[in-house]
Amino acid sequence: MLVSIIKWRQLSQVAPFIPERSRGQITRYLNLHLLLMAFFLLGYVGVATVFIFGVPSIGELVVSVIFLAGAIFVFLGIMIQLRMLKEIQKTIKGLLPICSACKKVRRPDTNPRDEDSWSEIETYISEKTEADISHSLCPQCKAELYPGLR
């Protein structure tokens, strides 16, 4: 139980880095996982109480429910971790070779000397992710390009 609580806390700390498109669903799964942990804790206390007072028939029922919930708990935990890893992998996938002058990106497994290997960063990001690109000017570039504008 303690290991699960520690894992839940670690997964919750990573959740803000999950892309917006999946963050809500993953957060709901994490909260459900926490509820199942609380259920287990209460179930263990219930089983101990039943056995202390010597009511075996109720104890068997409670243990059966806890084992069923345990299977769901393990499945849900694995599913949450797998989903988070897939989302992070979609977002960040290795190193990105980028030209330090023009900011073009070299496609993976291509010849760096070939001009066709390089594409605009906007094109590369649009092809590789579900992100939409919008353009704007940072304050420094705005001041350099349009010194008269505020």
pLDDT digits (tens, 9 = 90+) for 46-59: 777 877 887 777 77
**Residue 76: CB partners within 8 Å, gap ≥ 6?**
29, 32, 33, 36
Asked whether the predicted pLDDT for residue 93 surpasses 70, the reply is no
The Cβ of residue 77 has, within 10 Å, a number of other Cβ atoms equal to: 19
- CB-based burial, 1-35: b 16+ in 10 Å, e otherwise: eeebeeebeebeeebeebeeebeeebeebbeebee
- What number is the average pLDDT over the span 137-143? 87
89 versus 30: the higher-pLDDT residue is 30
Q: How far is CA 92 from the centre of its chain?
A: 12
Q: Please state the pTM of the whole predicted model.
A: 0.46
Name, of 66-70, 78-82, 144-148, the range with top average pLDDT.
144-148
AA identity, residue 53: F
State the first-to-last Cα distance of the chain, in angstroms, to the nearest integer: 58
> Binning pLDDT at 50, 70 and 90, where does residue 45 land?
confident
CA 150 – CA 138 distance, rounded (Å): 12
> Binning pLDDT at 50, 70 and 90, where does residue 118 land?
very high
pLDDT at 44: 77
Q: Cβ-count burial of 40 within 10 angstroms (0-12 exposed, 13-18 middle, 19+ buried)?
A: middle
Nearest Cα to Cα of residue 118 among 103, 132, 107, 131: 107
3-state secondary structure of 70: helix
Asked whether the predicted pLDDT for residue 121 surpasses 80, the reply is yes
